[in-house]
Amino acid sequence: MTAPSVRLDFLEHDVSLREPARLRERSDALDWLDTCLALGVSATPDEARLRQRIEALAAELQAVDDALCAQIRQAIQLGDGALALRPWAAAAASGADEDDSSDRYDHLDNLISGVLAIGETTEPLLPLDEGMVFYQPSPARHILHMLARLALGEGDVLIDLGSGLGHVPLLVAIATSARSIGVEWQGAYVAAARQCARELGLARAHFEQGDAREASLSTGTVFYLYTPFGGDLLRAVLDRLQLEARRRPIRVCTLGPCTQSVARESWLRALDASRLDRPAIFHSR
């Protein structure tokens, strides 16, 4: 076992790690404990004892996270989700000025996945057509920061084109008064997102299985794309969004490589052209 017992001693005695709000610190500690367990052996009695201590501390810290997620889930079911998520949304906004364009995941992703508790998908996945991008969730800090900047109201409908397991529409329904729609090619992901919305009582989040090229866009005021597709497929969807923008003002939010393509659309203007590396927000002209 290679775990430095000095750090383990320190973590075992650090009472603050048991405070629910110290999510980031707990997440760092759990990562370190996991690494120790992955690297370690327990051939000798001393090593076996050390391993037991690591496992016990990891279980204790995980239980704090689980209780925090259960408490937020309950708040959402009671209709108080926006309030329960507010400290975490504020944390995402305060870290947003750091030069962080990456799609790395952090403690907020652990929190959101614990809160949403989306089960394993069981149905087989469909083959992807040319240009379609496989599922990868938007990092939670980017979603929370984007929602703070969008300031969605009751009259808004956010449509996530290529919504995967539905994190974005679900968080819209939890944290704002807007409605949300996820359009997703994979029926298995749609079923999982719908079940999550049902369990959390999120009546303002809807999910449709289909191709973004054919989905109804007529109710959307804000469209989100986390690089769900590229090439001709992206072109076809952008042309459809341009038609929508002739009927009413819309906003388009993007994350990832598709931002560069969207930034070239002459019918859109970026809210902050100097920061297209985080979720970018474009307004129709």
Ligand X SMILES: C[S@@+](CC[C@H](N)C(=O)[O-])C[C@H]1O[C@@H](n2cnc3c(N)ncnc32)[C@H](O)[C@@H]1O
In the complex, the residues that contact ligand X under the rule CB under 6 A are 132-133, 135-138, 160, 162-164, 167-168, 183-186, 189, 211-213, 226-229, 233
- The distance of closest approach from Cβ of residue 161 to ligand X in the complex, given in angstroms and rounded to an integer, is 6
Shortest CB 165 distance to ligand X, Å: 7
Q: Taking the complex as a whole, how short is the minimal distance between the CB of residue 246 and ligand X, in angstroms?
A: 22
Q: Which is nearer to ligand X, 143 or 250 (CB)?
A: 143
Nearer to ligand X, 88 or 229 (CB): 229
CB neighbour burial string for 127-165, b if at least 16 within 10 angstroms, e if fewer: eeeeebbebebbbbbbbbbbbbebebeeebbbbbbbbbb
| In the complex, minimum distance from the CB of residue 276 to ligand X, in angstroms, rounded to a whole number | 17
Distance CA 140, CA 108 (A): 6
- What are the residues whose beta carbons fall under 8 Å from the beta carbon of 173, sequence distance 6 or more? 179, 180, 197, 202, 203, 204, 205
Separation of alpha carbons 130 and 231, rounded Å: 9
**Between 134 and 266, CB nearer to ligand X:** 134
Distance of alpha carbon 242 from the chain centroid: 27
Which residues make beta-bridge pairs with 226?
Answer: 255
CB of 72 to ligand X, least distance (A): 19
- Is beta strand 157-161 parallel, antiparallel or unpaired with respect to 222-226? parallel
CB of 171 to ligand X, least distance (A): 10
Element at 50 (helix H, strand E): helix 45-77
Closer residue to ligand X in complex, CB, 69/189: 189
Residue of 191, 113, 175, 105 lying closest to 142 (CA atoms): 105
User: Is 200 or 212 the residue whose CB approaches ligand X more closely?
Assistant: 212
Task: Pick the closer one to ligand X by CB: 36 or 189.
Answer: 189
Strand partners, 222: 158, 251
Mapped onto helix, strand or coil, the DSSP state of residue 3 is coil
**By Cβ distance, which residue is nearest to ligand X?**
162
